[in-house]
Amino acid sequence: MSSPAGLKNPGAAVRGVGAAGLVVEGVVLLLALLPLAKLGHGDTTAAIWVCAVLAVVCFLLCGLLKHSWAWIAGLVVQVVLLAGGFLHWSLLALGIVFGPAWLYALYVRRSVYSNKPD
């Protein structure tokens, strides 16, 4: 009998999609620190801290995606990133880019796990 979606290990495949998204997001957040510090107008200290903490959280969540709560935590990261737009507009922009990407990863997860073999 074949596994859901025809994958040998659907759980690992889905975790790979989620981890890839979180790694890319974490790297982009780290790369955003220097421009935010050097080119940001006004006091950007809080925005820099939010950016750094979210990058670390993204990297930590990569290894925790075996737990269902980690997927919800990934969604919380996106919401915090969007809310960070009140600190600096660039955090809002990153939230607009990575929020839909994470929603797509959640969609892929749900579709793989809900696809039952006949």
Residues 36-79 have pLDDT tens digits of 988 877 788 999 999 999 999 999 999 999 999 999 999 999 99
Q: What is the pTM of this model?
A: 0.86
The arithmetic mean of pLDDT across residues 72-97, rounded, is 95
Residue 109 burial (C-beta neighbours within 10 Å; 0-12, 13-18, 19+): buried
pLDDT, mean over the chain? 89
| Rounded distance between C-alpha atoms, residue 37 and residue 53, angstroms | 15
